Structure 1
Amino acid sequence: MAKKILQDVLPPENKSIRNIPLSRKRRGGGTHTSTEDIIVLDSRKPLKKNIEPAHDNYFSPSQKTQGKFPHKSVWITGVLCLLVVGFVFSFLFVSAEVEITTKTQTVDIKAPLVAKKSPESLDLGFQTVTLSKVLGKTVEAKDEEQIDKKASGRIVIFNKNSKTTQRLITGTRFQTSSGLIYKIDSAVIVPGYSTKAGEIVAGSITATVTAEKAGTDYNIPLSDFTIPGFKGDPKFTNIFARSDTPMQGGFSGKVKKITSSTLSKTEDELKAQLKDQLIIEVKSQIPDNFILYPNATFFTFESAPQTDTKDTSVTVNQKGTISGIILDENVLNRELASNTKLSSKEGEVYVSNLSDLEFVLPPNVALPISGDKDIPFILKGQAHFVWIFDQEQIKKNLVGKSKKELGSVISSYPAIASAKANITPFWNMSFPSKTSKISFKVTTQ
């Protein structure tokens, strides 16, 4: 029988330790071995560590890399595309904010000015504002007294009778359709009528009337009046009157009585409160771009009828009226610039602290000023003049230009002291192509 030769090299499929045959015979406690059936391993020699893997789980290095990152190139391409799109959109949505510091100058002024009742187009004019309010305060009162007070108000008397004037003496009676009689407080002369485009325009004059008797019955709303003394004469229908204000203040009856000192003190308190409240309320009604100076206001006060609240108290009422002169800020700025002889070559200016200046009337002028008279006054104080620049024109000059050109553009505007541009995104070095994308943040020196 030919002897089997032990092979030193086994094919890959036979190198596994699982392919080493074991003895099939076991007798007693001994072990029979045969070189024909058993491969003897020398324990003195270590097993080789570079055993190749079995074919069923073997991959080459290139195959392993491809399996771990199969889409790496796709991700890189996507990121690059996003960067390109973001870069393009950043230019489409570019914006700029220009921080501009305007030129200023503080001047100690004492400007004599005149506000005209009927100004021309470039003159400084004035308007008047008026506001009334009633306040009351309850005080202790134990005594009573009889009060009889007649209502009064204003009427407008019209003359459509002739072109000649009509004189009405003090006490001339005017009657409502319900028979209530009111008398004029002083004599008046009613102008005659005029004609315009063939139509009669009645002459008119305003007069104050007082009720014939005391009592609340004579407190009436706006009404029409005739003159009973002209009854049976054409003047009865051609000379007449209409209310300019309601008739108010009529009262007759007993009222709670307080001491004169308490009344005087209470009225003074109410006047002070009325002043504070009327100033606040009238300022809220001033049109935009107009200013009201404290010294251009004046107050009138009158006692309003008292009202009982309890058996031992009474409410003292006080009516206050504020009237004021308001001035156009734009025209006032121009007048002050002209008065201080500031250079017009550097552009228009305005006074940023107009309200801080003091309005002063000459000693021979007092409010209220009656009629159609002009009002001379002085404005004095530290005026902070600020130069004005054309924002829209600067935007047009900056459109599409390099950020480096900001200085050359601004240099042609003497009203601007300095400027700094902030462009978004930060890497963009040019201004937007549209003026709507450019904004300004304006400060003063």
Structure 2
Amino acid sequence: MAKNFFQDMIKMKSDLRKEREGNVAPTSAPAVETPPSSADEGTWPPTVASKVTRRISLAPAQDQGRRPWYSIWLVAGISLVFLFFAISFLFSEAFITINPKVKDVTFNQNLSANETPAEGNLSFDVVVLSGEESKTVEGGEMKNVSVAARGTVLIYNNYSSAIQRLDINTRLEGSNGKLYKTEKAVVVPGLNGTTPGSVEVGIYAAEAGEAYNSPPLDFQIFGFKGMPKYNKFYARSKGEITGGFIGKQSVITEAKKSIIQNEMKETLKAKLAKKAADLVPAGFVMFKDAVILNVDSVNFETLEGGQLQVNLKGTFSGIIFNESELIKKIIKSGIPDYDNSDVYISNFQDLNFVLLDTKGNSSSPSSVDFNLSGKPKVVWRVDTDRLVAEVVGKSKKDFYQILAQYPNVESANVLLRPFWKRGFPGDKSDIKVTVNYPQ
């Protein structure tokens, strides 16, 4: 029996060892043996209880209330994509910069313009201003002088459509009962429909002295008295008749008088030209040399101390032309293949204007002949509204195909914002166009 007892014990231990080796739990889950029940106490050999093994994880238990990390990153990525497109939509802009077509042409022609032109001919208008310039100069020797009063008149022909020639020193009878004479021979144009013909001429008093100085007067031609023409030809003075004087006066040479008068005339012309430029309506041009200043009167008055006060009055006439009519004349000569596109000339004032002749009243002529020369710069206008309408919502790669339909564009470039955008905004107001027109 003893032999069998020890053999059984050895066998049991061997079996237990094998069983333990075959059921070794991972280090993270150590096995816990369950003790034998009380029913086995006091028996020998002891009954080997069935072995129960528990695995206890040492890793932290997963929090079921939290999302996995990859879910958080997925939501963040979707949010960024949404934000990206939102910014692209809200702040999308396009900036188009255009250089228009420009061509320099050579032009040199004698032209005529009429107040009431036939179709296809040039027209013109006149800006008329009056002004006065004063200056004090050193006088000369005091002498007894006799000076006739002077002024300017407009003589009208309301008699017939035929012209009327008047000789130098034609006598005009003023409404003050005094006689004045014309400074030169003139031709008075005939009636134009119901509009009397008119011509401007200087006059001087038949006698010297202050008695002939006068405010504006009406006149009849003394030589027509008793004839049908007497009431149909008449004259009206432009401004006052002044300068009549008898007595001692500081005297300067005629050459010095002429120099003083010319200087004052140019000064007054420049002042009135500046004022007239502000009165030129849109669509018209007044060349800097398309101006006339008629001197209405010049008075030299002796001051105490022998100095002279010089007063010059004049009437300024600025001839203005319709830009569109001039452009047609210039383009017809300089651009034979012109296709009637919308163009303008950016450097009108750089052209050379020479007034050759005027017909009618010099301060308000009925026609003018002139020469115009230089290198006008013809600029093609760009229809930016049409361009915006054609590119809105389009891909950037389509832009230059659309631009090919605009022969009036020399070059252009596009800037899209944000920088990753590859197309134009869908709203016209987000597309800005700048055209670099020459100044």
- TM-score when scaled to structure 2? 0.61
The Cα of 1:332 is off from its aligned counterpart by 1.9
* 1:367 alignment partner, one of 354, 357, 360: 357
Contact 2:354–2:370 (Cα < 8 Å) also in 1: no
| 1:139 corresponds to | 137
Q: Decide whether aligned partners of structure 1 residues 306 and 237 sit closer, same or farther in structure 2, where only a CA change above 3 A counts.
A: closer
| 1:104 corresponds to | 102
Q: Secondary structure at the match of 2:332?
A: helix
Contact 1:293–1:359 (Cα < 8 Å) also in 2: yes
The Cα of 1:394 is off from its aligned counterpart by 1.1
Over the aligned positions, Cα root-mean-square deviation in angstroms equals: 5.0
| 1:292 corresponds to | 286
Q: Secondary structure at the match of 1:412?
A: coil
Contact 2:293–2:314 (Cα < 8 Å) also in 1: yes
| 2:404 corresponds to | 411
Contact 2:155–2:188 (Cα < 8 Å) also in 1: no
Distance in 1 of aligned mates of 2:162 and 2:119: 37
The Cα of 1:396 is off from its aligned counterpart by 1.5
Contact 2:137–2:310 (Cα < 8 Å) also in 1: yes
Percent sequence identity is 25
Contact 1:216–1:249 (Cα < 8 Å) also in 2: no
| 2:330 corresponds to | 336
| 1:57 corresponds to | none
| Matched ranges for 1:262-411 at <5 A | 262-301=256-295, 304-319=298-313, 322-345=316-339, 347-360=341-354, 366-370=356-360, 372-373=366-367, 375=369, 377-380=371-374, 382-411=375-404
| 2:62 corresponds to | none
Q: Decide whether aligned partners of structure 1 residues 136 and 383 sit closer, same or farther in structure 2, where only a CA change above 3 A counts.
A: same
The Cα of 1:410 is off from its aligned counterpart by 0.5
Distance in 1 of aligned mates of 2:189 and 2:347: 48
| 2:117 corresponds to | 119
The Cα of 1:309 is off from its aligned counterpart by 4.0
Q: Secondary structure at the match of 1:116?
A: strand
Q: Work out the number of aligned pairs and report it.
A: 355
Q: Decide whether aligned partners of structure 1 residues 190 and 443 sit closer, same or farther in structure 2, where only a CA change above 3 A counts.
A: closer
Q: In the alignment, does 2:242 pair up with 1:249? A: yes
Question: Which string of whole-angstrom CA distances, capped at 9 and with x for unpartnered residues, describes residues 276-328 of structure 1?
Answer: 44544443443333333345445555761123443232223344555443332
Q: Secondary structure at the match of 2:407?
A: coil
Paired AA for residue 116 in structure 1: A
Q: Secondary structure at the match of 2:400?
A: helix
Distance in 2 of aligned mates of 1:316 and 1:332: 41
Question: Which string of whole-angstrom CA distances, capped at 9 and with x for unpartnered residues, describes residues 229-265 of structure 1?
Answer: 999x998997695746334225334464133154444
Distance in 2 of aligned mates of 1:386 and 1:307: 54
| 1:33 corresponds to | none
The Cα of 1:181 is off from its aligned counterpart by 3.7
| 2:41 corresponds to | none
Contact 1:227–1:239 (Cα < 8 Å) also in 2: no
Distance in 2 of aligned mates of 1:443 and 1:180: 66
| 2:153 corresponds to | 154
Paired AA for residue 145 in structure 1: N
- TM-score when scaled to structure 1? 0.61
| 1:15 corresponds to | none
| Matched ranges for 1:46-85 at <5 A | none
* 1:430 alignment partner, one of 406, 423, 435: 423
Any unmatched runs of 5+ in structure 1?
1-72, 195-200
The Cα of 1:439 is off from its aligned counterpart by 2.7
Question: Which string of whole-angstrom CA distances, capped at 9 and with x for unpartnered residues, describes residues 78-115 of structure 1?
Answer: xx69x9689647635644321012223333x1342523
Question: Which string of whole-angstrom CA distances, capped at 9 and with x for unpartnered residues, describes residues 331-386 of structure 1?
Answer: 2222222212343349344333332233356xxxx334446445253423x34333
Contact 1:111–1:378 (Cα < 8 Å) also in 2: yes
Distance in 1 of aligned mates of 2:129 and 2:358: 14
| 1:440 corresponds to | 433
Q: Decide whether aligned partners of structure 1 residues 396 and 244 sit closer, same or farther in structure 2, where only a CA change above 3 A counts.
A: farther
The Cα of 1:393 is off from its aligned counterpart by 1.4
Q: Decide whether aligned partners of structure 1 residues 95 and 372 sit closer, same or farther in structure 2, where only a CA change above 3 A counts.
A: same
Q: Decide whether aligned partners of structure 1 residues 225 and 256 sit closer, same or farther in structure 2, where only a CA change above 3 A counts.
A: closer
| 2:173 corresponds to | 173
Paired AA for residue 119 in structure 1: P
Q: Secondary structure at the match of 1:270?
A: helix
Question: Which string of whole-angstrom CA distances, capped at 9 and with x for unpartnered residues, describes residues 367-418 of structure 1?
Answer: 34446445253423x3433323322211221222222221111111112122
Any unmatched runs of 5+ in structure 2?
1-71
Question: Which string of whole-angstrom CA distances, capped at 9 and with x for unpartnered residues, describes residues 35-56 of structure 1?
Answer: xxxxxxxxxxxxxxxxxxxxxx
Distance in 1 of aligned mates of 2:346 and 2:162: 55
Paired AA for residue 173 in structure 1: E
Contact 2:95–2:432 (Cα < 8 Å) also in 1: yes
Paired AA for residue 290 in structure 1: F
Q: Decide whether aligned partners of structure 1 residues 378 and 184 sit closer, same or farther in structure 2, where only a CA change above 3 A counts.
A: same
Contact 1:155–1:206 (Cα < 8 Å) also in 2: yes
